[in-house]
Structure 1
Amino acid sequence: MKYIDEFQNPDLARRLLDEIHATVTRPWALMEVCGGQTHSIIRHGIDQLLPEQVELIHGPGCPVCVTPLEVIDKALEIASRPEVIFCSFGDMLRVPGTGRDLFRVRGEGGDVRVVYSPLDALTIARQNPDRQVVFFGIGFETTAPPNAMTVYQARRLGVRNFSLLVSHVRVPPAIEAIMQSPSCRVQAFLAAGHVCSVMGVDEYPELAERHRVPIVVTGFEPLDILEGVRRTVAQLERGEHTVDNAYPRAVRPEGNQAAKAMLEDVFEVTDRSWRGIGMIPGSGWRLSPKYREYDAEHRFSVEDIRTSEPAECRSGEVLQGLLKPHECEAFGTLCTPRTPLGATMVSSEGACAAYYLYRRLDISPAPREATSVV
């Protein structure tokens, strides 16, 4: 299968691993900023195959995981209203809010529907003109363009019973916040290839220069990640800190100009809270004044909902790279995929879910003598 099998070739993986082993001379800490990369790393045992001097730190790259509790509670409040059809991707339905989740709301009679595209929600709105239809728009720069396009289409078609509950976040400000943290151990970043396929790499050189960290744009298959690590380690060993695109088959330096134009028209940059991390200035989007009537928070007057994170969930430390999932006292006991305390155990891209799914259940050192990534 094109772009799958050839990027999981164990012989090529071994060559990359041999080069990394031959290059590294001292300890380095690299953060991957994408939950999809985290799952690939854990699934294929890439972290176990690397030299012990190379540590991969899992960053806040799961959009479900960083959606703040107060936004979940706003979704629950809106979805509970009898006049509302609440639409969402399926991975949000089990994310715990304060005391319940969207599955519970649906079980209590709320009209909560799983859709596969925000345009599906717009179609539902056109088919149900007597109901308010809300789409839960979350994610990084990758999912923001289709959500922006849907709002644009709703306005163009005059669909007034559609709105968007927005919780979009941006990666570069998160990198800035991580590097400014007093507890930061990150020395380099593997940037998310799908984000850069939309936004390009223009925002990264300034970050790399200011914080003196290499930033390597990386894909998601085993060979993509190993090549990203190889280039990153080579820069670190040479004392360099530049932006390097290791995913050219999908990422152009300028990004997707049409998608960026749509984002600029529909959204505006705003401060945004990240679950378990807190407020990061300029790290999110909200609907621009031109489209503000499609803002579900405003339409349903839920702007003032405020909540606190449960003390027993340490997902914030996981999202900041300060804690590995299996080092949390609740991991695998109080917190499992069936009884999650936080979104990192629910999401298909969550680090805690990856550790649980691929049986990383204890804190003993991982074996380094594995020979294959497939």
Structure 2
Amino acid sequence: MCIQCCLKSLTGIDVKSLKNKKLIKKAIQSLNDLTPEELTKITHVCGTHEMTVSRFGIRSIIPKTIEVIPGPGCPVCVCPSYEIDLAIKLAKEGKIITTFGDMLKVPASKESLAEMKQEGEDIRVVYSPQDALKIARNNPQKEIVFLAIGFETSAPMTAAVLLDNPPENFSLISAHRLTVPAMELLLKEETRKTKGFICPGHVSTIIGLNPYYPFSEKYGMPCVISGFEAIDVLIGLVQIIKMIKQKKPSVINEYARAVKPEGNLKALKIIEEVYTVVDANWRGIGTISKSGLSLKKEFNAFDAEKKFDVHIDNSVDIHPGCRCHEVMLGNILPPECKLFLKNCTPEQPIGPCMVSHEGTCSIFARYGSKNFLRFE
């Protein structure tokens, strides 16, 4: 079976084909046949893709001249201390803070939400914005603040809550970020010299294919939207290397079983209705133009920062010795940080990349030996 046939076989929902050893071996052989002579760096911007790459030891089985580089694909990791500091300040003022579990252990400027919870502040883990809304409706005498994080995938869920007639005691801190502007930033990183992108599957189910075309048309950058099985990533790599060799950059949707060319139009409409696109700070990386989602003026009553008139003067994103910002930019891998698995561990993280299950350092801590085969 040719690799193009492999690609077609994955467009349906056939779980067995995703685990087919023959397809996987064929993809690996195709990569070996296409081995580039020069070092070719291919970047992904999705924590789940890094999970796939590390868990299945993909770096150890592909040609040595193909280097898979993790980018800023973890929303927990890129959330700046400022937003967490805001939540901590509001918790100390007696508000109930709700957020996803990964956010609790992320170090802020001086402390974490987990430490605040241990000191008695009312900080609750929720699994969705709707859970936070339910808490607000069940506690009308309390102010409920939802620390909203995530890329385009989770932004519609937060927006939907604001369109669901939320009570006056509900508000949120919007730490939502947009992926494509971060990808554009990576092209300016001289140390990276990226030759192609594995585009994020989850995000692409929302935004579709159109946002990626400027990368191929303007920058000559091959892009493949990939799923999250090993075969997905391997076929994505094959397609990128083929486009590089043929000098025909384009956008290929390998994840067609989930991603529509137009994306999720209803979700995009909700995003547009609730948010305005703004310049936003990414933890340790700096401000990226038009990369954040802020609530529109008509939703100011639910913007916690405006509602309670709170502000943080000085936030600290990167603590001494931590190199998470370099990891997120793909300039180094976690083992190159002196704190990795020494001072900084999943149990006692110093940097955000060691906290979330989608953080590159956390993933390397779990599956690192499969990556070290290549990078020792």
- For residues 114-193 of structure 1, the aligned pairs below 5 Å read 114-153=125-164, 156-157=165-166, 159-193=167-201
Q: Match of 1:187, SS? A: strand
Q: Counterpart in 1 of 2:72? A: 60
* CA distance in structure 2 between the partners assigned to 1:271 and 1:161 by the alignment: 28
| One-letter amino acid of the structure 1 residue matched with residue 360 of structure 2 | A
Q: 1:320 aligns with which of 329, 332, 335?
A: 329
Letter of the 2:58 counterpart: I
Percent of paired sites with the same residue: 37
In structure 2, the partner of 1:356 is 365
- 1:44 matched to 2:56? The reply is yes
| Aligned position for 2:211 | 203
Q: CA deviation at 1:311?
A: 2.8
Task: Provide the rounded CA distance (Å) in 2 between the counterparts of 1:327 and 1:161.
Answer: 46
> Equivalences for 1:244-263 in 2 at 5 Å?
244-263=252-271
Q: Deviations over 1:221-269 (max 9, x none)?
A: 1111111111111111111221111110111111011100100000010
Instruction: Please give the TM-score of this superposition, normalised by the length of structure 2.
Output: 0.93
SS of residue matched to 1:358: helix
Matched, 1:79 2:91: yes
Q: Return the alpha-carbon distance in structure 1 between the equivalents of residues 306 and 370 of structure 2.
A: 43
8 Å contact from structure 1 (residues 4, 221) kept in 2: no
Indicate the residue corresponding to 1:33 in structure 2: 45
* Contact 1:326 1:360 (C-alpha < 8 Å) held by counterparts: no
Residue by residue over 1:101-126, the C-alpha shift from the partner in whole angstroms, topping out at 9 and shown as x without a partner, is: 11111111111111111101111101
Question: For residues 272-311 of structure 1, what are the structure 2 equivalents within 5 Å?
Answer: 272-308=280-316, 309-311=318-320
**Residue 238 of structure 2: SS of its match in structure 1?**
helix
In the superposition, relative to structure 1, how do residues 3 and 352 fare at CA in structure 2: closer, same or farther (>3 Å)? farther
SS at match of 1:211: coil
Q: Give the partner amino acid of 1:77.
A: K
8 Å CA contact retained: 1:73, 1:305? no
- Taking the TM superposition and a 5 Å limit, the aligned residue runs for 1:359-370 are 359-360=368-369, 365=374
Do the aligned residues in 1 keep the contact of 2:178 with 2:292 (CA within 8 Å)?
yes
Partner of 2:225: 217
Contact 2:56 2:370 (C-alpha < 8 Å) held by counterparts = no
Check conservation: 1:24, 1:237, Cα contact below 8 A: no
Decide whether the 8 Å contact of 1:74 with 1:305 is kept in 2. Answer: no
Q: Distance in 1 between matches of 2:222 and 2:344?
A: 35
- 8 A contact 2:98–2:126 mirrored in 1: yes
Q: Supply the distance in 1 between the matched residues of 2:144 and 2:276 (Cα, whole angstroms).
A: 23
**Matching residue's letter, 2:182:** A
- Which AA in structure 1 matches 2:206? V
Question: Residue 146 of structure 1 aligns to which amino acid in structure 2?
Answer: M
| 52-61 or 287-296, larger mean C-alpha shift | 287-296
Report the alpha carbon displacement of residue 5 of structure 1 after superposing the two structures with TM.
4.8
2:347 corresponds to which of 329, 338, 346: 338
Q: Is the 8 A contact 1:327 1:363 kept in 2?
A: no
Instruction: Tell me which residue corresponds to 2:24.
Output: 13
CA displacement 1:257-313 (0-9 Å, x = unmatched): 110010000001001111121100101100011112111111222334431321311
> How big is the shift at 1:366?
5.0
- Once residues 341 and 365 of structure 1 are traced to their aligned partners in structure 2, the CA distance between those partners, rounded to angstroms, is 26
Shift in Å at residue 183 of structure 1? 2.8
Q: CA deviation at 1:363?
A: 5.8
Contact 1:326 1:362 in 2 (8 A): no
Cα separation, 1, equivalents of 2:136 and 2:14: 37
2-structure distance, mates of 1:25, 1:123: 54
Question: Offset of 1:4 from its aligned partner?
Answer: 4.8
Runs of 5+ consecutive residues of structure 1 not aligned to the other structure: 368-374
Q: What is the deviation of 1:62? A: 0.4
The one-letter amino acid of 1:246's match is E
Paired residues, number: 362
Contact 1:151-1:164 at 8 Å conserved across structures: no
Q: TM-score, normalised by structure 1?
A: 0.93
8 Å CA contact 1:16, 1:227 repeated in 2: yes
Q: 1:269 aligns with which of 269, 277, 292?
A: 277
Look up the equivalent residue of 1:171 and give its one-letter code: T
Q: Which amino acid aligns with 2:21?
A: P
What is the one-letter code of the residue matched to 2:201?
G
| Match in the other structure for 2:81 | 69
Does the 8 Å CA contact 2:59/2:371 hold for their aligned counterparts? no
Q: In the aligned structure 1, how far is the partner of 2:223 from the partner of 2:214?
A: 11
1:97 aligns with 2:108: yes
